[in-house]
Amino acid sequence: MATRDGGMKSTSINGVKMYTIASQQPSLASWLPSKKQNSHRHVKSYTQNLQLLEDLRFTTAATKIKATPDGEYIVASGIYPPQVKVYEVRELGLKFERHLDSEIVDFQVLTDDYSKLAFLCADRSVYLHAKYGKHYSLRIPRMGRDITYDCWSCDLLCAASSPDLYRINLEQGRFLSSLSTQSPALNVVCRSKIHGLVACGGEDGAVECFDMRERSSVGRIDAVGPSGDVDQEVTALEFDEDGGFLMAVGSSAGKVLIYDLRSSHPLRIQDHMYGSSILDIKWHRTLNYEQPMLITSDNHVVRIWDPQTGEGLTSIEPTTGTINDVCTFPGSGLILLALDCSQIPSYFIPALGPAPKWCSSLENFTEELDMGGQTTIYDHYKFLTKEELERLNLTNLIGTNLLRAYMHGFFINHALYKKAKALADPFEYEAYIEQQKREKIEAERASRITVRKKLPKVNRALAARLLESEEVENEKRDADDDETKKASKKKKGLSMQDLQDERFKAIFTDEDFEIKDTSQEYLALHPMGSKKQTSLLKEHFEPVMSDDDQSLSDSDASTSSHDEPANGAKDKSRVPRMYEIKNEQHAEAFWSKKSLAGEESLPMGDRVAALKYEQQSSRVPNGVKQGPGGSREITFTSRSKAKYKEDEEDKEVPHRKKRGVQSLGLKPHRPVFRGQGRGKRGNGRRGRR
């Protein structure tokens, strides 16, 4: 690939991205005359364009394009003069080109590569080419319309404007007996690679199948009749290459019918909605889909859709000319179109399949294009909306040839757009220059060597504030030397250099010297409330008095201050505003200095999940659930009536007794002391008396 300067453009249909790869020519508007289109050859985007293959173009138009079965070569035919080009995809360029005497109607690749080719021309001749060039030529009785090759019998089958299907045996080198059909003329012929059945589509809308082993007709149906069209022709035929039982039929009314060979009724009918005849049908299988996709084309559009559901994947609508043929690569998302213009555009659809091996870099280009976000439609034209036209004062051009209406806006010539923009905003260039200067200065500043100082772990806020003040002073010192001299006489503030002394190093290393904003000592020295407290006050509290009452109280306070004598001291106190807490949840959050703004913005499901997590994490007894605002929910089970009565009996107060020895805690059966010695002595004294 040569270059990639604006050669790839991205469009999206039904959410499926499609990348258009231009080949030699920029995407020009179709309403431009041919002279103006040719005048753009000096443009840089014309010469430096993304090319899939070198010289992938013809002088006037391309008629047919096909890939060889081995996928190594691309064969394309075009006019004028009638010629055929063979491209080698490995080398990404043209291998050779050959000229013919007549325009090519269709051609077939007879081998895996380009070594054997058969061309059906407009002068009723069939040319057989080999590697070295033209090998042999012969003529068929009627004007040929389509050609196919039966590799099992080595027969070349030609459908012409006659009811006979001509057979040319390439092994024997002679005509064989033709296959007669019931149609007045044949438009298309195709062969299945699985079971070898040959199908012919006629002008009367009928499809007739032949078995080449018996050389006789095995079935005939009216293929176009079920679609509701009368007197329509069959213009395209293709067998399914997987099972061989499905056959897609294209009609001249722009409809595609899918038949099962075991049934005479179509499985599905798809309408292209253009009314032009179907040119080509292809069953395309890739790794992205389990079932093969159908690629059908007419003169205006190429549609890619699912044959089972009928849902369309995407569509291709070229703007440079009508469609003549479609070329696909097996298992990939690359599509080539032969158009009625000199270029052969390429379309890459990543959703359909990957890029072929020989152009695998297409995937890298598409990723870069998605990251860049380029949106261009036509070269040398600018798309403007109606609001942009009003801003440029060009609304008076609506309806003239200078504006082309397209969807929700207009196309305008880029030169005219530049002039209108210069008149509408004359100082835009100066603003652009200033912006470029600022960006350059910022880039130079970013390239300077800057010393990054690590902040200490202790008193980070103080260190950051001191470093910021030092940087501001250094910028002022660099700005003007005279101002620095005057500033040096004044008293300087505290700096990081002052705190590098050994006596003050402990401020940023010892945690005992850490400044705590929440301590009572700090609040006493800094009585100004922080922004966090005011925000928490507004969040968790609401004023008791309304604004009207507050304004009245303020006015009363002001009148009372005016009534005081002049020599007296003025009462500067204002009427205090009363606040009340919103609920218990806000009270608990205020005491813990937390904000509930983030929790209230969460959805209900997240709040319930967080509440359950808090209940599990907190040390709460079993059977107790936490609620919002510190509330608790307790569950219990009621006991039986009998147990309840026993509890009441236990709670009855016992009968009071008089205070005695038992109440004092003494033992009631303790033996009494009699005092034998002193008792005897006493008794003796009494006896003596």
Answer whether residue 114 shows pLDDT above 60.
yes
What pLDDT, on the 0 to 100 scale, is given for residue 30? 53
Q: Quick one: pLDDT at residue 343?
A: 83
CB 340 within 8 A of CB 319: no
Q: Has residue 334 got a pLDDT over 80?
A: yes
Angle in degrees, 0-180, between the axes of helices 531-540 and 584-591, rounded to the nearest 10: 170
Averaged pLDDT, 434-454: 77
Three-class DSSP category at 659: coil
pLDDT-wise least confident of 206-210, 485-489, 501-505, 638-642: 485-489
Report pTM: 0.52
Starting at the edge strand that comes first in sequence, how are the strands of the sheet with 280-284 ordered? 280-284, 293-297, 302-305, 312-316
- What pLDDT is recorded for position 624? 67
- Take residue 202 and report the two structure tokens written for it: 């006629």
Distance CA 481, CA 479 (A): 7
Q: Are 100 and 82 in contact (CB under 8 A)?
A: yes
For 295, the 3-state DSSP assignment is strand
If you average pLDDT over each of 192-201, 534-543, 596-605, which comes out highest? 192-201
Q: What per-residue confidence (pLDDT) applies to 86? A: 92
Greatest mean pLDDT range, 176-180, 316-320, 657-661? 176-180
Residue that is written with structure tokens 């913005």 in the block: 601
What is the model's pLDDT at position 375? Answer: 46
pLDDT tens-digit map of 620-629: 566 666 665 5
249, 207 in Cβ contact below 8 A?
A: yes
Q: What is the pLDDT of residue 48?
A: 44
Residue 228, Cβ neighbours under 10 Å: how many?
10
**Higher pLDDT among residues 581 and 104, named by residue:** 104
Pick from 243-257, 406-420, 668-682: least confident = 668-682
Beta-carbon contacts of residue 291 (< 8 Å; ≥ 6 apart): 306, 307, 308
Average pLDDT for 571-590:
71
Q: For the chain, give the number of residues.
A: 689
pLDDT, average across residues 244-253: 89
**404 neighbors 31 (Cβ within 8 angstroms):** yes
- 42 pLDDT exceeds 60? no
Inform me whether the pLDDT recorded for 523 exceeds 60. Answer: yes
Residue type at 641 in one-letter notation:
K
Report CA dihedral (190, 195, 196, 200) to the nearest 10 degrees. -40
pLDDT at 189 (0 to 100): 93
Task: Check whether 38 has a pLDDT greater than 60.
Answer: no
The helix (H) or strand (E) run that includes residue 611 is helix 604-617
Grade residue 75 by pLDDT with cuts at 50, 70 and 90: very high
* Mean of pLDDT over the chain: 75
> What confidence score (pLDDT) does residue 45 get?
47
Instruction: Give the residue among 140, 146, 143, 182 at the shortest CA–CA distance from 161.
Output: 143
Segment 387-407 mean pLDDT? 81
pLDDT at 251 over 70: yes
What's the pLDDT score for residue 688?
A: 45
Q: Is the pLDDT of residue 689 over 80?
A: no
More confident residue, 331 or 401: 331
Can you give the pLDDT at residue 470? 75
| Helices 460-479 and 481-489, packing angle to 10 deg | 130
Rounded Cα–Cα distance for residues 198 and 181 (Å): 12
- Range 339-370 burial, b when 16+ CB lie within 10 A, else e: bbbbbbbbbbbbbbbbbbebbeebeebbeebe
- For the residues 542-565, what does the mean pLDDT come to? 53
The yes-or-no verdict on residue 639 having pLDDT over 90 is no
Q: Report the pLDDT value the prediction gives residue 243, as an integer from 0 to 100.
A: 78
Kindly tell me if the per-residue pLDDT of 610 is higher than 70: no
From residue 71, give the alpha-carbon distance in Å to each of 192, 217, 305, 577, 636: 20, 34, 24, 86, 81
Contacts of 64 (CB under 8 A, 6+ apart): 76, 77, 104, 106, 107, 324, 325, 338
3-state secondary structure of 305: strand
Say what the pLDDT of residue 22 is: 62
Task: Give 268: exposed, middle or buried? Use CB within 10 Å, 0-12, 13-18, 19+.
Answer: middle
Q: Which two tokens stand for residue 278?
A: 């179907």
Lowest mean pLDDT, pick from 333-342, 354-363, 444-453: 444-453
Contact present, 266 and 310 (Cβ < 8 Å): no
Predicted local confidence at residue 276, as pLDDT: 87
Planar angle of CA 682, 684, 686, nearest 5 degrees: 75
Q: What percent of the chain has a predicted confidence (pLDDT) above 70?
A: 69
The top-scoring range by mean pLDDT among 2-6, 320-324, 448-452, 615-619 is 320-324
Which token pair is 144?
């040929």
- Answer yes or no: is pLDDT of 535 > 90: no
CB 355 within 8 A of CB 333: yes
CA distance 609 to 139: 84
Q: For residue 19, what are the β-bridge partners? A: 10, 348
Residues in CB range of 319: below 8 A, 6 or more apart:
27, 29, 30
Q: Where is 198: in which H helix or E strand?
A: strand 197-202
Position 373 scores a pLDDT of 47
For the ranges 55-69, 150-164, 495-509, the lowest mean pLDDT is seen at 495-509
